[in-house]
Amino acid sequence: MIKVFTVAEMIAAEKAADAAGVSYAAMMETAGRCVAEAVVERLHIAGKHILILVGPGNNGGDGLVAGRFLAQAGAEVVLYLYTPRDAHVDDNFHQVQQMGLSIVGMVEDIDFQFLRDAVVQTDIVLDALLGTGVTRPISGRLAELLRVVKDEIGVKQKKEAEYARSRLTIVGNVNGRNTPPHPLIFAVDCPSGLNCDSGQLDPLAIPADHTVTFAGPKRGHFRFPGAAACGELIVADINIPTDLPNVAAVQVELATAAAMQKLLPPRPPNGHKGTFGTTLIAAGSQHYFGAPLLAAKGAYRVGTGLAALALPQAILTTVAGQMPEATYPPISAVNILDAESVSELRTAIARAKSLLVGPGLDAAAEFMQALLAIRDVLPPLLVDADGLNLLAALPDWPTRLPPHTILTPHPGEMARLTGMSMAAVNMADRIELASEKAQEWGHVVLLKGAYSVVANVDGRCHLLPFANPALAVGGSGDVLSGIIAGLLAQGLQPYAAAVLGGFLHGAAGQLTAAKVGSSGVLAGEIAENIPQAQRALRY
């Protein structure tokens, strides 16, 4: 279990850990060692030049500890101090002095010439200047320092890229390998200049290739524009007890593979299609036949025993020809589902273990109202896409739904459901917005987008660790809703189904992008990779 902290929650957790016997000094020692280990795990550092930018506070202390461990591992370490440190009161500074490491203070490097030369010569820059408490723009000499480092890194990387291109035109990819960025940038806790609550990023911040954060990620690591500057996010355990009240009270968790494995529905060897449930999908219209087809693929690929598609006659033959595995309850409506369709579906509704309403359900207001009139007999319900737009047009719509209905809006649909503007939704803290509305409405909310948020009615939230442009394609959301509905049919509770479904969808998107690239992915390809994503979790 990995919690996602606000800055205030992290400060409270560290304070509680210190009171419980895990001292600040011990946490700093562990943090610095973990940073060093993260560097060592990613490249051979013996003989490599490492420049550590050391700030004035605890972040700088973490950098000093990391420098000690990196030097012991064989690296050539240079410590560049933004402000002087006193070895009489700073044991970590005393230890690096005793080791004879190269230490230069900014106060001595008036024109930054040493810093410029150090950046040119280094293989790795370790950013330990500012920690998670940054809330104001960077100014003064610190701004000058960061500008020098950023400029020199840019010049160096540009020259190396030009050289690599010139070599490629002559002899191809030298030694048959891709050269990593040089120098590599590691950030300690966060890139200096990142607001770890809002995700705002100072223009002088140095984007990291890898960020090592402690105890758990901070919300700002997942909010743009700052999220784009974090690179690979590595969470280091610094021995803060998870059972401390201050930690247990944090409501937001990161969805991890280890946690998702525990949510997977069982697949008994003697199971049959009834064991794995029937997903009823009420979707589609004369203009939209792809949406129900993709939703059914999502449900089948995640393991539902049977998908039943309730479709108007205008698209029935087209969809059935592409999805012979599904069943098709008889519907008399021609172009769009209507109120009579609900009566015709009573038997299918009684047999279903989950119900998905919405993909491609264009202009079917009468159907939605008639369906909600029998809410007490509906199986676990998910509403997506056009279904959400139909809900938004109804007064007091949250009270018309069965409790714990799953809603899966993208920002535009969230704007319509809440009455907010699109700009307000996009500017809001997505975790706070989803959590507030889930509790207010009494339903599970999956707010889609980069790092989707799943919020429960009891205040719990999960953050999905995926920001993948490959998923930004028409039909991707239909596959997602089908996955979740398929998990509901297999017996998962709504919140668990939404979290696991969102994770599997994101993981399948990653697998697809690895094969195809970040552009050109088809929603159907995402669905085809769901079994592989599930298999990776199971075994």
pLDDT in tens, 489-503: 999 999 999 999 999
What is the DSSP-derived secondary structure letter of residue 181? P
Whether residues 131 and 277 fall in one domain: no
Across the chain, mean pLDDT equals 94
Q: Do residues 143 and 26 share a domain? A: yes
Three-state DSSP class for residue 126: strand
**Of 205, 220, 250, which marks where a domain is finished?**
250
Q: Which helix (H) or strand (E) holds 321?
A: helix 313-322
Give the pLDDT band (50/70/90) at residue 256.
very high
Asked whether the bond before 181 is cis by omega within 30 degrees of 0, the reply is: no
533/285 Cα distance (integer angstroms):
31
Number of neighbouring beta carbons within 10 Å of residue 104: 16
319-371 tens-digit pLDDT? 999 999 999 999 999 999 999 999 999 999 999 999 999 999 988 999 999 99
> Where among 202, 226, 250 does a domain terminate?
250
**pLDDT for residue 135:** 86
pLDDT tens for each residue of 121-172: 999 999 999 999 888 899 999 999 999 999 999 888 777 767 656 655 544 4
Pair (263, 245) in one structural domain: no
φ/ψ of residue 443, rounded to 5: -135, 160
Report the range of poorest mean pLDDT among 166-170, 446-450, 483-487.
166-170
Same domain assignment for residues 111 and 209? yes
240 & 272 share domain: no
- Residue 503: what residue type? F
Q: Let me know: does 361 contact 390? Beta carbons within 8 Å.
A: yes
**pLDDT tens-digit map of 57-80:** 999 999 999 999 999 999 999 999
**E-strand spans in 208-284?**
210-214, 232-236, 252-254, 278-282
325/459 same-domain check: yes
Same domain for 183 and 300? no
- CATH number for the domain that contains residue 123: 3.40.50.10260
Question: pLDDT band at residue 175, thresholds of 50, 70 and 90?
Answer: very low
CA dist., res. 83 & res. 80, Å (int): 9
% of residues, the chain, pLDDT over 70: 96
pLDDT surpassing 50 at residue 173: no
User: What global pTM score does this model have?
Assistant: 0.93
Return the higher-pLDDT residue of 170 and 272: 272
Residue 30 belongs to domain spanning: 2-250
Compute the distance between CA of residue 448 and CA of residue 181 in angstroms, rounded to an integer. Answer: 32
Pure H helices in 105-248: 113-121, 140-171, 245-248
From 195, 229, 250, the end of a domain falls on 250
Average pLDDT over residues 191-210: 96
Helix, strand, coil percent values for the chain (each to nearest 5): 45, 15, 40
Please tell me the distance from the alpha carbon of residue 390 to that of residue 388, in angstroms, as a whole number.
5
Note whether 302 and 170 are same-domain residues. Answer: no
504, 247, 440, 435 alpha-carbon torsion, rounded to 10°: -40
Report pLDDT digits (tens) over 210-255. 999 999 999 999 999 999 999 999 999 999 999 999 999 999 999 9
Q: Rounded to whole angstroms, how far apart are CA atoms 509 and 466?
A: 9
Residues 151 and 276 in one domain: no
* Domain at 464, CATH number: 3.40.1190.20
461 in the same domain as 355:
yes
Q: Quick one: 394 and 525 in the same domain?
A: yes
Structural domain tally of the chain? 2
Per-residue three-class SS string for 282-308? ECCECCECHHHHHHHHHHHHCCCCEEE
Residues 264, 215 share a domain: no
| pLDDT of 156 | 82
pLDDT, position 163:
62
